Structures are given as C-alpha cells and as structure tokens.
C-alpha cells in the first residue's frame, strides 16, 4: 500500500499529538513530590516553605494582613489558610493561585482530597503561622529552613513580637496514664513545647504524619504530639512582627475567643486522651469524670476494662473519684462501727504502694455481716437504693449478695462491700463470684485489724496481709504485678 503525501502528513500529525497527550498525561500522574522537585523548581530560588494559617477566629482576625505581608516579600509565596467551615464573615484573601482557602469539612460536591490540606502543600517545609503575625524582612522563612537543616531538631520556632512572645517549656506526655506534665524548660533553646505566640517551621512530611496535625488549638495540639514522639523544638532569635491591626483588640472579642479556645482545648484533650494536665507549681487541670458525667469506661467484661486493651491504665480522674469514694465510705463505716478491711485488689495495691493499683477499676472492702445493721446507709440499701446527702448511691449489687456504693447516680465508679460472717473460725459468705481471690479465710487475719495507708488515708487491713494475699492470689503476688485476667490480657504482653 502506498501513502499519499497528505496521508503521511496527517499520520505524523496524529502521532505527534498522541505523544504530546501521553507526555502531559504522564506529567499529571507523577507523584506530587517529584513534581515539586522538578528541575525548574529546584534550580530557581522558588519558595520552599508553605505558610499555613490555621489558628485564627473567623469573627475577628488579621489573616488578610498576614497574607499580604508575605506576598509583598514574594508574590509567589504559597499560602494555605485552613478552616473547618467557610469563615464568616468571609476572609478577604487575594485572588491569586498561590493563596488557597481549604475547608476541612467534607462537602457532598467535592472529592475527599479537596478537604485534605496536604493536597495543597507542595513544598518541603511548612510554617505554621498564627493570626496576629506578619513579616517585614525578606527571607525570614528561608533563615528558619537553614536553622532547621543545621540544628538537630525536627522543629524550629520564631517568637512573634506580641505581648505574649513564645517561651520554652518541658513537656512529658504519657498516654498510658492519660497525662501531660509541663514545666519551665531547663535547657533553652531546645524545648519540648512552647507557650505564647510563635511561628513553627517543620518538614511537610513530618507535619502531615502527625496523628491530628490540624487539630486546634494548634499550639497545644502540635506539641503534645511532637513531645510524645520525642521531637524537640529549637526557639530561634528571629522574631516576626506583630500585626499592625492586631486581631481581638476589644475586650468582647478577647472574651469570646478565650471562651471558644477553652471549649476547643477541652475537646482536643478529650480526643487525644489526655485527662490530667499538670503545671510546674502544682496547678492541675482535670478533664472529664465528674459526678455529673458518666463513668469514662463501659461495663467491665472478663475483669478487663476497655482501656487496658488500648494500652492504657485507669484514667487519673477515675482514680481520683475512686479514692474520694473509698475515703468517704470508710469514714461512714468507721463512724457507724462497722468492722471493715481492704480486700482483693485494693489490699494488693495498698501492700504494693499504698494506693489503688494504677489499672484497677473499683475498690473492694470486706465487712462483718453482723455489723450491717449498725449503718443507716447499708440498712437503706437492703431495702432499695439510697442516694445520701453527699450524692453517693448505696445499693445492693445485682450480681450477688453484696453492697455497692457508687460515686453518683450518673457516674457508676464504685466501692464494693463484701459481707462475711465467721463459722468455726473461718470467714465465709453465701454467694461466691468466680474469682480466684474470692475464697474463705481464717478469721485470725482480722484479729486484730491493722492500719495501712491507702489512697491518701489510713484504712484497716488484715494483719499479716502478705500471707492473706498469698492465700487469696497465690505466692509472689505482691512482687509480680499482673492484669486482673492474664488469660485475656497480660501486663507483660504474654
Ligand atoms: C519528664 O520526665 C523526666 C524523666 O522521668 C523527668 O526527669 C522530668 O522532670 C519530667 N518533666 C516534666 C515536665 O514532668
Ligand atoms: C510516619 O510516621 C511513622 C511512625 O509514626 C513512621 O514509621 C514513618 O516512617 C513516617 N513517615 C514519614 C514519611 O515520615
């Protein structure tokens, strides 16, 4: 077959078109990072940092001023402003392709990637820029990049020249204990966390690899996550300017922002599983677990509370409420002349370290059955449930012949009271639960009872409690801590 010249030209044109099409399609499918590293980008001094603005109030902010100040230094500066929902009143952002507003709330008419800010960050670094900052000298972000590359930290920060510039803090986060401990940092300028206004710069891949990179308040959230990973932050002496028209200038706006900040912070700590924050000097902040809130773990199945499966111990607020309930119940029993003693896991905790075992979920006391009538609350509980004047609930347990005192009507953290009676020198009872420690024992352990520190007060305990415990749980039980049901879940991970 012979081609005419025209046919040949047409075929060539089609082939060329196809090649061009394939080339562009190939470009489109390159991963973002390799595109960012394309020669055009790397050979020029194009921006290596995206300015990410997350911390601002929609109702009163200086975000447009912040964005303008960066565009004045470099019109190509990428800026991503992140909000949960469309800010109202609307943000007056410049209409240029390198400034984007990203909404985290998924919308029916947008693909999922549209609500993920990492979709819009193509640079190697991000600078987390709080509202109220502006830049006035060129190359501030570049200097932070150089400091990050030179220093041994994953994060660098620069203070903002506001009334509340950044300060260095030490921070220990324990997921197992649900706690965050802050203290002034011993080794400036390397810190675990910052307090006050700062710009923080880190690698984009580190930032978006955090568990909740964009959770607010960004400062609290960021450093809880980085401190847990052992990443420190270096505080540089490269201050950013404060906005000329600072946000939240009126008392009302500040009041509103503080109120919303507190709500956000409580929600954040709840979501990240921090229930107790402590500060140098002993100030404590508790989250969750009041008389009005429900118990922060569900019905315990197989003696193994849900938090143990999450690799965590009893939330500190629950331990506190258990201590309070135990101390109160013991006070009522002593005042009424009811003989009681620490039982089971509670005695074990007292013997080990004078407190509730850090993963225990209730408190157990033994009582003399014949003394029950001495105590008004227990008499009441025999007939039905009694809410006493302090809000504790006394009732007969549904599981068997014992009493239960709940922290409140809503919060079912509890102390169990197990009535025993002597028969031929042996303490016994009529209902038994299927627990190893739920066995008869010689009455001489109770003659006499001995004082033992427990949960912040002094409780009565069986004499010779080491032998008592070994009789109930087996030899070596004090020295070898174990979860309540090692067959389901073991402390040693076995
Ligand atoms: C963090 O833990 C270390 C080691 O246990 C301790 O020396 C330091 O004081 C703790 N810091 C804070 C702020 O609690
Ligand atoms: C993200 O974090 C995980 C550990 O949390 C780590 O194994 C992984 O290498 C990190 N990925 C990047 C890209 O840094």
Looking from the CA of 226 toward its CB, the CA atoms found within 13 Å total 29
For 399, counting Cβ atoms within 10 Å of its Cβ (0-12 exposed, 13-18 middle, 19+ buried), the class is exposed
CATH number assigned to the domain covering 316-473: 3.30.460
Residue 374 phi, psi (nearest 5)? -70, -20
Low-confidence ranges of the chain (pLDDT < 50): 1, 16, 18-22, 24, 27, 30-43
Q: Which atom of ligand 1 is nearest to the CA of 181?
A: 14
Residue 111 phi, psi (nearest 5)? -70, 160
Closest-CA residue, ligand 1 atom 11, reads: 172
Cis preceding linkage at 479, omega within 30: no
Please tell me the distance between residue 197's alpha carbon and the centre of ligand 1 in angstroms.
24
Cis preceding linkage at 89, omega within 30: yes
Running DSSP on this structure, what letter comes out for residue 338?
Answer: -
Please tell me the distance between residue 170's alpha carbon and the centre of ligand 2 in angstroms.
24
Closest to 327 in 3D by CA, of 314, 342, 315:
342
Closest-CA residue, ligand 2 atom 3, reads: 209
Which ligand gives the minimal distance to the CA of 213?
2
The pLDDT score that the predictor gives to residue 189 is 72
Q: Cα–Cα distance between 421 and 431 in angstroms, integer?
A: 12
Q: What is the largest CA-CA distance in the chain?
A: 119
For the chain, the residue count is: 494
Please tell me the distance between residue 143's alpha carbon and the centre of ligand 2 in angstroms.
26
Closest-CA residue, ligand 1 atom 6, reads: 172
Please tell me the distance between residue 271's alpha carbon and the centre of ligand 1 in angstroms.
24
Please tell me the distance between residue 185's alpha carbon and the centre of ligand 1 in angstroms.
10
Q: Show the tokens assigned to 490.
A: 């073991």
Residues in contact with 382: Cβ distance below 8 Å, sequence separation at least 6, in sequence order: 372, 396
Which ligand gives the minimal distance to the CA of 177?
1
Query: How would you classify the pairing of strands 133-134 and 241-242?
Result: antiparallel
Q: Which atom of ligand 1 is nearest to the CA of 278?
A: 14
Q: Which atom of ligand 1 is nearest to the CA of 183?
A: 13
Alpha-helix residue ranges (DSSP H) falling in 242-301: 251-272
The domain 49-168+188-247 belongs to what CATH superfamily? Spore Coat Polysaccharide Biosynthesis Protein SpsA; Chain A (3.90.550.10)
Closest-CA residue, ligand 1 atom 10, reads: 172
Which ligand gives the minimal distance to the CA of 33?
2
pLDDT digits (tens, 9 = 90+) for 136-176: 999 999 999 999 999 889 999 999 999 998 999 999 999 99
Q: Which atom of ligand 2 is nearest to the CA of 209?
A: 1
Neighbour tally for 459: CB within 10 Å? 25
Q: Which helix (H) or strand (E) holds 141?
A: helix 140-150
Ligand 2 binding pocket includes 211 (Cβ within 6 Å): no
Closest-CA residue, ligand 2 atom 1, reads: 209
Q: What are the E-state strand segments in 239-385?
A: 241-242, 276-278, 284-286, 340-342, 363-368
Please tell me the distance between residue 311's alpha carbon and the centre of ligand 1 in angstroms.
21
Running DSSP on this structure, what letter comes out for residue 259?
Answer: H
The pLDDT score that the predictor gives to residue 96 is 97
Residue 430 phi, psi (nearest 5)? -95, -30
**DSSP code per residue over 6-40:** HHHHHHHHHHHHHHHHHHHHHHHTS-HHHHHTSHH
**Reduced to 3 states, what is the DSSP secondary structure of residue 61?**
coil
**HEC profile of 142-177:** HHHHHHHHHCCCCEEEEEECCCCECEEEEEEEECCC
Closest-CA residue, ligand 2 atom 4, reads: 209
The pLDDT score that the predictor gives to residue 441 is 96
Closest-CA residue, ligand 1 atom 4, reads: 172
Report the sign of the C-alpha dihedral through residues 270, 117, 54, 58, in that order.
negative
Please tell me the distance between residue 493's alpha carbon and the centre of ligand 1 in angstroms.
26
The pLDDT score that the predictor gives to residue 34 is 43
Say if CB 406 and CB 395 are below 8 A apart: yes
Q: Cα–Cα distance between 413 and 398 in angstroms, integer?
A: 15
The pLDDT score that the predictor gives to residue 46 is 80
Please tell me the distance between residue 182's alpha carbon and the centre of ligand 1 in angstroms.
9
Q: Which atom of ligand 2 is nearest to the CA of 206?
A: 14
Neighbour tally for 178: CB within 10 Å? 26
Q: What are the E-state strand segments in 408-479?
A: 414-423, 426-428, 441-442, 449-454, 457-462
pTM: 0.84
Q: Cα–Cα distance between 122 and 36 in angstroms, integer?
A: 6
The pLDDT score that the predictor gives to residue 39 is 40
* Strands across the sheet containing 190-191: 99-103, 79-83, 49-53, 125-128, 198-203, 155-159, 233-235, 190-191
Query: Domain residue spans in the chain?
Result: 49-168+188-247, 316-473
Residue 184 phi, psi (nearest 5)? -60, 145
Please tell me the distance between residue 241's alpha carbon and the centre of ligand 2 in angstroms.
34
Q: Show the tokens assigned to 175.
A: 């997921």
Ligand 2 binding pocket includes 209 (Cβ within 6 Å): yes
- Which residues does a 6 A CB cutoff place in the pocket of ligand 1? 170, 172, 181-183
Which ligand gives the minimal distance to the CA of 184?
1
Mutate to test the pocket of ligand 2, among 209, 211, 212 (most ligand atoms within 8 A of CB): 209
Say if CB 350 and CB 456 are below 8 A apart: no
Please tell me the distance between residue 165's alpha carbon and the centre of ligand 2 in angstroms.
31
Compute CA distances 64 → 142, 238, 243, whole Å. 22, 22, 10
The pLDDT score that the predictor gives to residue 295 is 87
Q: Cα–Cα distance between 461 and 453 in angstroms, integer?
A: 9
* Strands across the sheet containing 167-174: 193-195, 167-174, 179-184, 276-278, 284-286
């Amino acid at each position: 077959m012979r081609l005419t010249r025209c046919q040949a030209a047409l075929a060539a044109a089609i082939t060329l078109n196809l090649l061009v099409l394939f080339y562009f399609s190939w470009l489109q499918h390159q991963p973002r990072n390799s595109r960012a590293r394309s020669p055009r980008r790397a050979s020029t001094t194009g921006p290596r940092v995206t300015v990410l603005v997350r911390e601002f109030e929609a109702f009163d902010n200086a975000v447009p001023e912040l964005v303008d100040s960066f565009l004045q230094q470099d019109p190509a500066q990428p800026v991503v402003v992140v909000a949960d929902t469309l800010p109202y009143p609307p943000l007056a952002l410049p209409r240029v392709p390198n400034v984007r507003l990203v909404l985290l709330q998924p919308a029916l008419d947008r693909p999922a990637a549209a609500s993920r800010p990492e979709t819009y960050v193509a640079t190697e670094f991000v600078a987390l820029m709080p509202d109220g900052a502006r830049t006035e000298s060129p190359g501030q972000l570049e200097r932070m990049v150089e400091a990050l590359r030179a220093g041994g930290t994953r994060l660098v920060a620069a203070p903002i020249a506001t009334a509340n510039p950044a300060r260095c803090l030490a921070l220990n986060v324990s997921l197992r204990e649900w706690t965050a401990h802050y203290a002034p940092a011993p080794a400036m300028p390397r810190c675990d966390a910052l307090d006050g206004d700062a710009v923080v710069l880190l690698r984009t891949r580190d930032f978006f690899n955090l568990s909740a990179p964009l959770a607010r308040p960004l400062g609290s959230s960021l450093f809880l996550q980085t401190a847990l990973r052992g990443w420190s932050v270096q505080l540089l002496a490269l201050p950013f300017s404060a906005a000329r028209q600072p946000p939240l200038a009126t008392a009302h706006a500040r009041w509103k922002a503080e109120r919303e900040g507190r709500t956000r912070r409580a929600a954040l700590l709840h979501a990240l599983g921090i229930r107790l924050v402590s500060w140098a000097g002993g100030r404590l902040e508790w989250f969750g677990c009041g008389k009005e809130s429900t118990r922060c773990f569900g019905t315990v199945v197989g003696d193994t509370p849900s938090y143990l499966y999450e690799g965590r111990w009893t939330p500190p607020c629950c331990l506190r409420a258990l201590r309070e309930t135990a101390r109160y119940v013991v006070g009522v029993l002593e005042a009424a002349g009811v003989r009681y003693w620490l039982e089971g896991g509670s005695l074990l905790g007292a013997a080990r370290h004078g407190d509730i075992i850090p993963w225990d979920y209730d408190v157990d006391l033994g009582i003399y059955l014949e003394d029950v009538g001495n105590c008004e609350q227990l008499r009441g509980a025999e007939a039905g449930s009694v809410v006493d004047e302090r809000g504790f609930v006394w009732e007969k347990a549904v599981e068997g012949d014992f009493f239960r005192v709940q922290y409140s009507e809503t919060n079912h953290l509890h102390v169990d009271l197990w009535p025993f009676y002597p028969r031929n020198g042996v303490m016994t009872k009529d209902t038994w639960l299927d627990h190893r420690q739920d066995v008869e024992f010689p009455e001489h352990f109770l003659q006499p009872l001995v004082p033992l520190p427990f949960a912040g007060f002094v409780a009565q305990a069986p004499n010779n409690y080491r032998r008592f415990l070994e009789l109930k749980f087996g030899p070596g039980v004090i020295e070898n801590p174990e979860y309540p049901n090692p067959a389901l879940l073991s402390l040693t991970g076995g």
